[in-house]
Chains A and B, each alone.
Chain A
Amino acid sequence: DAKTTQPNSMESNEEEPVHLPCNHSTISGTDYIHWYRQLPSQGPEYVIHGLTSNVNNRMASLAIAEDRKSSTLILHRATLRDAAVYYCILISGNTGKLIFGQGTTLQVKP
């Protein structure tokens, strides 16, 4: 299974943009890039996913490198409620097993 690498932690100020990086150099052509986040005492929740093109939704944007070996989750204006652990994971239709990494703990300062 392809692995992802993320920084352990990041800090941001409230109302500023946040760029959360993820490296996935062993990504295969059928792997979708997914991002999830987990708030304290809650289950992980879906944020965004993409295959090759950049993606936007109401929660965030996903920028995917041209070679697909890295991606960046962009929170345009961080709020205190965005403080969470963010997980980047590759999901393929051919793979049953899904392993999560340690994720990035995002702290948002008021």
Chain B
Amino acid sequence: DAGITQSPRHKVTETGTPVTLRCHQTENHRYMYWYRQDPGHGLRLIHYSYGVKDTDKGEVSDGYSVSRSKTEDFLLTLESATSSQTSVYFCAIRFDLSSGNTIYFGEGSWLTVV
């Protein structure tokens, strides 16, 4: 158990509404990631964080923002949800070098924008 949880696990929302997904870790790892996964596209990096208040963009960051005000939480926000953001969202944490920089993923958050 890598101590990573995502919430909510499932959500249906309407186009134009804001949505926030939360990723929580219990072990103070520095790196945290948000990916989305769609059929035929594999895992695509949205944003990542390398410390409190330190974040950077990934491959598909348009329409998304993130915040990390404390080590344990990494929030992904869709300011105004669109149908193209219907997807499965995975959070991940990266362990340190002593563990070979191993990545552990959360169980996913299924988001449907109608």
Contacts and interface: CB of A to CB of B under 8 A. Distances in A.
B interface: dominant SS: strand
Instruction: For chain A, give the interface size range.
Output: 20 to 34
Interface in B67-102: 90, 92, 94, 97, 100-102
A interface: dominant SS: loop
Given A96-B48, A96-B50, A91 B101 contact: yes
A98 B94 CA distance: 10
Given A36-B103, A97-B56, A98-B103, A44 B45 contact: no
B107 A97 contact: no
Interface in A68-110: 85, 87, 91-93, 96-103
Interface of B: 31, 33, 35, 42-45, 48, 50, 56, 58-59, 90, 92, 94, 97, 100-108
Interface of A: 32, 34, 36, 42-46, 49, 51, 85, 87, 91-93, 96-103
9 A-B pairs with least C-beta separation: A43-B105, A100-B43, A91-B101, A96-B50, A49-B100, A93-B97, A102-B42, A32-B100, A44-B105
